[in-house]
Structure 1
Amino acid sequence: MSTKAQQNSIITDLSLAKDGHLKIDWVQAHMPVLNRIRERFEQEQPFKGLKVAISLHLEAKTAYLAKVVQAGGAEVTITGSNPLSTQDDVCAALVEDGITVFAKYNPSPEEYKQLLIHTLETKPDLIIDDGGDLVTILHSERQDLLAQVRGGAEETTTGILRLKAMEKEGQLKFPMVAVNDAFCKYLFDNRYGTGQSVWDGINRTTNLVVAGKTVVVVGYGWCGKGVAMRAKGLGANVIVTEIDAIKAVEAYMDGFAVMPMVEAAKVGDFFVTVTGNRDVIRGEHYEVMKDGAILSNAGHFDVEVNKPELEALSSSKRTVRRNIEEYALKDGRKIYILAEGRLVNLAAGDGHPAEIMDMTFALQAMSLKYVNDMYNEIGSKVVNVPYELDEQVARFKLESLGFGIDSLTEEQKSYLDSWVEH
C-alpha cells in the first residue's frame, strides 16, 4: 500500500477497494497476452525512472494495463476518459496498489477537466490517451507541461482524428502512436469488442427484446460493422446509414438495408451512432421518429445525438430507469436516450470483453515502449504501430489459445519474391 498514492489521489472512497481488486483479478485471469508482456516488463524495466500518465475508460481492464506499465518501472498516474465510465471501486484498488488516481464516477464537467489537469501536473514523460483530451490540454492550456513529454499512444478513432488535425497544422509537439489503426485493434476491438459490448449495454439497460425490431446503425466503420453484425445475430432487421459510398455498398453486400438517416429515422426502434462526428441524429430526425424510439451512442464523445435539439422539441424530460432518459415530445410521442448519449457500452456496461482488451492493451503497452525507445527518431508526428508489434500480439494470442500456424518454405519465399519463377 502506497502512502504517496493515497495522499495525492482524488477518488470517491478508498473503502471500496476490495470489490475493485476482485474485478481486476478476474480480468487478469483472462488477459494472457498482457500477462506475458508484464513478465517481460518486470525483467526489462523499460520505464524505470519515468512517469506515465494514462487517460482511459477507468474500469478493471484499464486498471490492469496500468499495473502492467507500473511493473515496467513507471510511476503511474491515471484518470478517466469519460465521466460515466469510471468505476469507483477500481479506482480505490489502484490507489492501494500504489498508483495515483484522479478519477471518480460522474463528476461535473468542470471537475472532470480538473482531474485531467491534475494528471498532467505530475509532469509525465509518456502518456496514453483516449480521445485526445490529455494531448489537447497540453497543447492549449498547459503548454508549460509540454517539455518533458517524450510521446505517447492514442487509443481511439476520435483521438487520432484530433491528432492528425494537430499534425497537419504543425501544432503537434511530440510523437503519438495511432494504436487504433493497428490491425489487432480495429479488426478485433472495434468490430468484435464494440459489437458485443454495445448490445451488452443496451440489453442490460432496457431489458427489451431485440429480435424482430429494426436497428439503425449510424456509420459503417469497423465499430459499425460489429454493431450491425451482432444486431443481426440477435434477430434484428438492420439498416445502415452512411456518408461514404464505398462503405454503403459494403453494408449492402453484407446484407443490410442502406438509406439516408431521414428515412431510417421513420422506421427505427433502436438507434446506435458510431461515427465520431457530431449531430448525426438531430432535430429533423426526431420529428419523424416513431413513438418509443431508443437512441444510443458508441462514439467517444456525447455529441453524436443532439440532445439540445431534442429538448427543444420536448415538453418534459425524466429518468424512467437507470441510464434511460425519457423525452416527452409536444405532440405526445416519447423518445428515449440511453446513458445521456455517452458511450453506451461503458456508461451503461462494463465495456469490451477482457479477452478483446487483452490484445488492445498489449498493443498499448508495447507501443508505449516503442515510442519511449524511438521518440527522437520519430519526431513530432502521428505514426502507426510497427507491423512487427502488431504481429507479435497476434502470435501471443494464438499461443495463448493453443493454436499454431504455418510458415513459408524457402522455395515459397523465393517464388513470391521473384517475377521470373512463375
Structure 2
Amino acid sequence: MWALPGSAISGDGPGRRALILVENLSVPFDRRVWQECTTLRDAGWEVHVICPRGEKRDTEPEAVIDGVRIHRYPLRAATGGPAGYLREYGSALWHTVRLARKVGPVDVVHACNPPDLLFLPALWLKRRGARFVFDQHDLVPELYLSRFDRGEDLLYRAVCALERRTYRAADIVLATNESYRDVALRRGGRRAEDVFVVRSAPAIDRFQPVPPEPELKRGKSHLLCYLGVMGPQDGVDYALRALAKLRDELGRTDWHAVFVGAGDAFEAMVELSRRLGLSEQVQFTGRIPDADLVRYLCTADVCLSPDPCNPLNDVSTMNKVLEYMAMGRPIVSFDLREARVSAGDAAVYAPDDDEAQFAKLIALLLDDPEKRARMGRIGQERISGPLSWRNSQASLLAAYAAACRDHAPVSAGGPVRTGKRPRH
C-alpha cells in the first residue's frame, strides 16, 4: 500500500484508539469518513465507528472492514417536522452512548456533524480521558436557513447555541475548506492552531474511466449528467427549469439528461420534470451502483452543479463537483464562492440562480468540444494535485497529533475494555 507522507507526524498513532461518531450516513457509504478511517488505520490507529445502518447497504449491526470496526444502530429518518427530528436525534444519541460503552476507552472521539448534538457523547468520553475532534461537515445554522426558509427564529437560535457548545467542547476542529475554517475562527472563537482544513476528495479507486457508451444518450447527440443528493437546497429544480429553457428558448433538443441520486425531494423533482414536459428527455435513476455511475459520467458531455446561492451553498464544497472533475467532465455551476475555489477553470459559472444563463452555458459547452476537453483536463489535474486526498491525509494526521500532544495512550495502563469485540 502507498505510504502516507504524513505518517511521520503521527507518531502518536500506534497503539492508540479512535472512535468516530456519525449520525446522518452509514459507513463506509460515507466516503469522507471512510477515507479518514483508512488513513488513521494506516497510521497505526485502532479505529472504531458508530453510525446508523443503511437501508440497502451497510445493514449489518457489526462489521470489520479492512481492519476498521464498525458498530451500527437502527435509525428511522425524521418525518413530521421538528418532532420527527427530536425522535431521530434522541434515538441516535441513545444508541451512540450505548455502543460507545461497548467500545470502551479511546484516545480520540471524532464526531462528524450534522447534527451538532454529538458533543454530548463526546463530552461523556472526554471525562473518561478522550480528546474531542469535531469534524464539521456542515454549517448547521446555514443549513437550517437554507433548507427551511423560516428565518432566524427560535429553532435557528437553538442550532446556533448547539454549534457554540460543540466548538467550546472540542479540542481540535476539522474544517472542510477555508470558508468553514474562517467560521470556526470567527464565530467559534477557536485558535488558529486548533483548526485544520481536511478537504473532502473523491475516492480515486471509485472513478476508473471506462469507454463511453453512446446508447446511454438515448439517441441524442449529447448527455447531460447530475450526480448527488436531491434535497430542497440542492437545486435540482433549478437544473430542470434551465433544461426547459434550453429546449424552449434556445431550441436545443439534441440532448438527453440523467439525474443520479436520491433524497427527500426526489419525488417532487420527478413530478416537476413531468410538469415541465421533460419526461422524454430527463431520466431519474435513483441511487445506482458505482459501476453504473462511472458509465454515465464517462459518457456525459457536460455535468451540472445547480446548487443555488444560499448561506450554506456559497461556502460549502460540493462533492459532486470534485467527482465530476475526477472523471474529467466540464461543469456548469452557479457562481458560488467555494465552487470557484474547487473547480477553477474546470467549470463555467452562471450568475446566482439565473436559470436562463445556466441554460446558455450548457449550450455553449455542447457546441465547443475542445473547450470541454480542456476543462476536463484542468479538473483532473486539480484533483490529482492541490485537491488530492494526499494533502488532506497529512492535515488529518497533524490534527490527531495535536489532539494527542502530551496525552498518554489510554491503553498505556491496560484499561479494562467493556464489551466483546466483533469477530473477524
- TM-score (norm: length of structure 1): 0.41
Which has a greater percent of helix? 1
- TM-score (norm: length of structure 2): 0.41
